[in-house]
Structure 1
Amino acid sequence: MTTSTHILRRRRFLPLFVTQLFNAFNDNLYKTAMVLFVVYSIYNSEAEEAMFSAVASGVFIVPFFVLSALAGQLADMRDKARIIRIVKGCEIGIMLVGAAGLLIAWQDVECATGAGAACLTAPPPLLAQSAIPLLLAALFAMGVHSTFLGPIKYAILPQHLHSDEVLAGTGLVEAGTYLAILFGTILAGWIPVEVAAAVVVGIAVLGFITAQFVPPAPPQGDSNELDFPLLGPLGRSGHGKATKAAAFLPTLVADQLVSMFKLVRSTTHDRRVFLAIMAISFFWTIGAVLFIQFPPLAKNVLTASKEVASLFLVIFSVGVAIGSVSVNALLKGTVSARFSPLSVIVMALFVLAFYLVCRAWTPAPGDALMDVGQFMGQPLAIALLFCLLGIAVAGGMFVVPLYAFLTTFVPKTQTARTIAANNIVNSGAMVAGAVLAMGLSAAEVAIADQLLLSAAMCLVSSWLGKKLYDAEKAAPAG
């Protein structure tokens, strides 16, 4: 029996694994259904579609940057299993708001296009105008939800798994996450948006149920005070009057930035951990930019339907899952960045090949959009999907060992904070990537040409991976 199949049979891992599957599935079902519906049914401009895709990505990422310090401290100071249950309970309310936004937007579009049955219950004009704000508000709240869950899903592993099981557990969580992304993305592209609204609420309830079975994971240290500047000054502001809170605002912002800087700086005690965080950040910047580009690229460059856009995201998710599991087999359970530099160079080559195929693509005539069958009948379709799969497999092989660094080479009392520091740097890098993508769209740089940005960032990630491997070899044994 392999290590992976062994831990999947144990309560110390299985409930967490299933809860994370539901979380990743729901995140991506909601995000993808929302973005595809807006891109394909509301906007009709490549620039506007790319801008909305970038804004949606930024809205989801911002909470990671702002709240990761608090999330990491809570995860280290409180029972991680209890936090999981609280967060999953909140997800039910968040998804009710998101479902309402999807239904309002759907009814408004159906009525505008003359679908009679939907018009009978179409929302009034002011309510219809609130659809996109509701959608983005729920997306922001899901970002908050994932911010608090993020440090736990990796930090809890060394607490529940043996040392020789951590890499396998990390690979399973990463691979499972991407398989859940796969199914969530498939569903988002193929089911009607009104059905997606019901499904996201149901999955939130299932995730809350499975969270009840995660074994306790009490704090490993003695600290019981939160060092989070937003809580201190506001908590001491008398009766919490708005004027007093406003007076603290400049100080709060400065203190929050200092707190985040201190948290990130605390990771520099081990050069391997710090370099792993830097390399992961550039990887997720590349992933964020690619995900921003996929829907408008599919619609405007490849003249393909939303089902094809969903297929792109599916192929990407499958590839990362394959890479995540493959690298564990290659490394034989050893935590090492040995294959990371080469993996991301291969990823860059596949991105360039993907770009060249897009440039050579023959669009459909007129305003027609190809369905999956028509798309697969195109001469370059297989080459395009193969390039996309190669990007993802290489990316998965690059990133999984780096996450294992974050939980292996720090004390167990600091694992959640290390993951939180990683999330801060990751989210800052992804926001920067989203802003850059928005700027390129505003400057009217063709969406296909923006793929070159992702290829260039792969070179930076490879350099960081090489630095990490050098630090790994230089570290004392044991």
Structure 2
Amino acid sequence: MEDHSQFRLLSERRFAPFFVTQFAGAFNDNLFKNALLLLVTYNAGGLFGLSSDVVVNLAAMLFILPFFLFSAVAGQIADRYEKSGIIRWVKLAEVAIMAVAAVGLWFGWHEMLLLLLFLMGVQSAFFGPVKYAILPQTLDNSELVGGNALVEMGTFVAILLGTLVAGVMMKAPLPGPMIAIAVLVVAGLGLLSALKIPKAEAAAPDLKINFSPLKETWKLMAIAKENHNVLLSVVAISWFWFLGAAYLTQFPGFAKDELLGDETVVTVLLAIFTVGIAVGSMVCERMSGHKVELGIVPIGSLGLSLFGIDLYLHMPAQPVPSDWWMIFTDGSYRRVALDLLGIGVSGGLFIVPLYAFVQQETPPETRARVIAALNVFNALFMVASALLGMLMLGVIGLSIPEFFLVLSIMNLLVAAFVYQQVPEFALRFVIWMMSHTIYRVKHHDLERIPEEGPVLLVCNHVSYMDAPVIAGAVKRPIRFVMDHHIFSTPVLGTFFRMAKTIPIGPKAKVPEIYESAFERIDEELAAGNVVCIFPEGRLTSDGDVAAFKSGVELILQRRPVPVVPLALRGLWGSFFSHCGGPALTHLPTRFWSRIHLLADHPVSPEAASAEVLEAKVKSLRGPHP
């Protein structure tokens, strides 16, 4: 699986029809919405006696209002019924809405189009929960990040294309009829592709649906709060939409007033930002190693702030009237473009692992309702983003670059709060950075580790970096058992406490720590988790594998579980090993070293004696430490 790109999913029926369906829906939403806004702004001169500015904001509110009103019901329906059937009904509704919209566009009935924009919002609100809840049912865990990356990439490319096509069609001789035909054709294509989506059975078929929006929306929040880490991830995703909405809303004014650009500059900035998000989403698959990797999230959040601050610091000192070509040819304008691209890439790195984490960590029977809660949070944060923009730009009087700077600083504060509340983000970031910068880790046969259920890992103990290297390579979270003395080390002690490492020591010297360790190991295995021990009991002093102690047998007597032997090769001689003297005391001389982590076939608990496991680890490691 690790040797295949996520793009192969686009050729498989379990994913390709769904991808086309969601792409067509996002394209149509934005084609119709932007066409309507352009018609109102340039042709209609306002509706209902209102100015075009008021109508534009009214249209934005009408599209987002259904997410508040109907997300709760949509989440219940997505959990209660078979998901491919729900998607087909939603797409059929889209065809009906677009058929009426086509008539309105053809004859210029713009007032009616506002009502249809609200109905498109309703349709999107019902599609949202099933869109993300279906992925864990059709994809393996190793494909979840790649599938989400494709969905996010497709969504933002569809948003961009829909916006661009709306602008192009508005310049045609008969824009209304052209757009009418386009939205109807795309809706029909979405329905046809939906008919090919394989079945995804109901996760909670006995769920009783309640149609009280306010009451059920409150229940959604309670469901999301059941897992603190999931709730914080939901808030983090919504914060991304807060930032994204703020940037996208200000692009026209930013291009016109700060860059003195024409309409083509707005289009180019939007394209650069959107392409950046798509690229960042796709890069996640490679960076995550085909698993849900929270260590990438801090990289994304840091990039959002750093590129935002750099954008503020490198605005053109004396802007001149510009078009799209100057964005690429003038150095100061090109710096702006690169910063926007960096913000987009960082956004993709930030959001994709979070979506995959929410899907993976949420029970199947409540997954769609948690996604519905996420949609409510997204809508709230986007409204808050618009209000903050009005306050900062209209009342306080900040310039748009100053507003972007405020957003960048706010992002650092939000990130610090989230990572303080959920240390696993920071922990995974440290592990990811270590395993991808200090070392080049080559994995061998790690798929032999069971994907679920309790399992005990045993490995040779070469350096203080053994645990981070293993944690960064194995797809499942691991509880490590390590010598209690390491917890007194200032930096490493804090790190291993964050990792929920289990301290252990000699029974004769620290009996309470010894007994507590075996109790915690048993609890973790009973909960179906992965535990890793280093049966040598200490770091090797000569590079060889020392005799395995009997603690592994005591663990298996209490809780018989499969044992997977691991072997580390190439860490001997590093700064963190005892080669040439005590670890951490000599100057580091090796960087970007290639190391290997190898796994053997699982050993049954009945056959897993200390001697057998020691022999297997030695055989795996080979003659070179």
Q: Same fold (TM over 0.5)?
A: yes
Q: How does 1:57-456 map to 2 (within 5 A)?
A: 57-99=60-102, 131=110, 133-192=111-170, 194=175, 195-229=178-212, 256-358=213-315, 360=317, 362-364=319-321, 370-373=322-325, 376=328, 378-443=330-395, 445=397, 448=400, 449-456=402-409
Instruction: Calculate the aligned-residue CA RMSD, in Å.
Output: 2.8
How far off is 1:374 after superposition?
Answer: 5.6
- Which whole-Å CA distance do the structure 2 matches of 1:328 and 1:288 have between them? 25
- Partner letter of residue 208 of structure 2? E
- Where is the helix percentage greater, Structure 1 or Structure 2? 1
Task: Write out per-residue CA displacement over residues 106-142 of structure 1, whole angstroms, 9 at most, x where no aligned residue.
Answer: xxxxxxxxxxxxxxxxxxxxx6xxx2x4443333222
1:283·1:461 contact (CA, 8 Å) conserved in 2? no
Q: TM-score, normalised by structure 2?
A: 0.62
Structure 2 vs 1, CA of residues 352 and 191 (structure 1 numbering), >3 Å: closer, same or farther?
A: farther
Higher mean C-alpha deviation, range 86-95 or range 351-360: 351-360
1:54·1:435 contact (CA, 8 Å) conserved in 2? no
How far off is 1:324 after superposition?
Answer: 0.7
Q: Work out which structure has the larger RCO, using CA pairs closer than 8 Å and 6 or more positions apart in sequence.
A: 1
Structure 2 vs 1, CA of residues 278 and 164 (structure 1 numbering), >3 Å: closer, same or farther?
A: same
Which residue is equivalent to 2:550? Answer: none
Say which SS state the counterpart of residue 223 (structure 1) adopts: coil
How far off is 1:17 after superposition?
Answer: 0.8
How far off is 1:430 after superposition?
Answer: 1.1
How far off is 1:53 after superposition?
Answer: 5.5
- Where is the strand percentage greater, Structure 1 or Structure 2? 2
Unaligned runs of 5+ in 1: 106-126, 230-255, 365-369
Task: Write out per-residue CA displacement over residues 158-195 of structure 1, whole angstroms, 9 at most, x where no aligned residue.
Answer: 11122222222111111222222232233233333613
Structure 2 vs 1, CA of residues 311 and 141 (structure 1 numbering), >3 Å: closer, same or farther?
A: farther
- Which whole-Å CA distance do the structure 1 matches of 2:134 and 2:421 have between them? 24
Pairs aligned (count): 419
Q: Which has the larger radius of gyration?
A: 2
Say which SS state the counterpart of residue 225 (structure 2) adopts: helix
Structure 2 vs 1, CA of residues 42 and 258 (structure 1 numbering), >3 Å: closer, same or farther?
A: same
Q: Structure 1 vs Structure 2: percent identity of aligned residues? A: 37
How far off is 1:97 after superposition?
Answer: 4.6
Structure 2 vs 1, CA of residues 96 and 434 (structure 1 numbering), >3 Å: closer, same or farther?
A: farther
Say which SS state the counterpart of residue 242 (structure 2) adopts: helix
2:326·2:333 contact (CA, 8 Å) conserved in 1? no
1:26·1:184 contact (CA, 8 Å) conserved in 2? yes
- Which whole-Å CA distance do the structure 1 matches of 2:106 and 2:319 have between them? 36
Which residue is equivalent to 2:7? Answer: 5
How far off is 1:102 after superposition?
Answer: 5.0
- Partner letter of residue 198 of structure 1? I
How far off is 1:82 after superposition?
Answer: 1.1
Task: Write out per-residue CA displacement over residues 383-442 of structure 1, whole angstroms, 9 at most, x where no aligned residue.
Answer: 221111111000110010000111101221221111111111111111111223234454
- Which whole-Å CA distance do the structure 1 matches of 2:354 and 2:196 have between them? 29
How far off is 1:463 after superposition?
Answer: 2.3
- Which whole-Å CA distance do the structure 2 matches of 1:383 and 1:151 have between them? 38
415, 420, 424: which is aligned to 1:462?
Answer: 415
Which residue is equivalent to 1:16? Answer: 18
- Which whole-Å CA distance do the structure 1 matches of 2:341 and 2:15 have between them? 29
- Which whole-Å CA distance do the structure 2 matches of 1:420 and 1:174 have between them? 17
- Which whole-Å CA distance do the structure 2 matches of 1:100 and 1:455 have between them? 44
Task: Write out per-residue CA displacement over residues 433-466 of structure 1, whole angstroms, 9 at most, x where no aligned residue.
Answer: 1223234454373551432343234224422552
- Which whole-Å CA distance do the structure 1 matches of 2:83 and 2:231 have between them? 24
1:345·1:459 contact (CA, 8 Å) conserved in 2? yes
Structure 2 vs 1, CA of residues 67 and 168 (structure 1 numbering), >3 Å: closer, same or farther?
A: same
Say which SS state the counterpart of residue 336 (structure 1) adopts: coil
- Which whole-Å CA distance do the structure 1 matches of 2:82 and 2:184 have between them? 26
- Which whole-Å CA distance do the structure 2 matches of 1:332 and 1:469 have between them? 22
Say which SS state the counterpart of residue 137 (structure 1) adopts: helix
Say which SS state the counterpart of residue 380 (structure 1) adopts: helix
- Which whole-Å CA distance do the structure 2 matches of 1:43 and 1:438 have between them? 23
- Which whole-Å CA distance do the structure 1 matches of 2:114 and 2:368 have between them? 28
- Which whole-Å CA distance do the structure 2 matches of 1:405 and 1:5 have between them? 20
- Which whole-Å CA distance do the structure 2 matches of 1:198 and 1:357 have between them? 44
Structure 2 residue 29 is matched with structure 1 residue 27: yes
Unaligned runs of 5+ in 2: 428-498, 501-523, 531-625
Structure 2 vs 1, CA of residues 97 and 308 (structure 1 numbering), >3 Å: closer, same or farther?
A: farther
Structure 2 vs 1, CA of residues 52 and 460 (structure 1 numbering), >3 Å: closer, same or farther?
A: farther
- Which whole-Å CA distance do the structure 1 matches of 2:55 and 2:392 have between them? 13
Structure 2 vs 1, CA of residues 452 and 5 (structure 1 numbering), >3 Å: closer, same or farther?
A: closer
Q: TM-score, normalised by structure 1?
A: 0.79
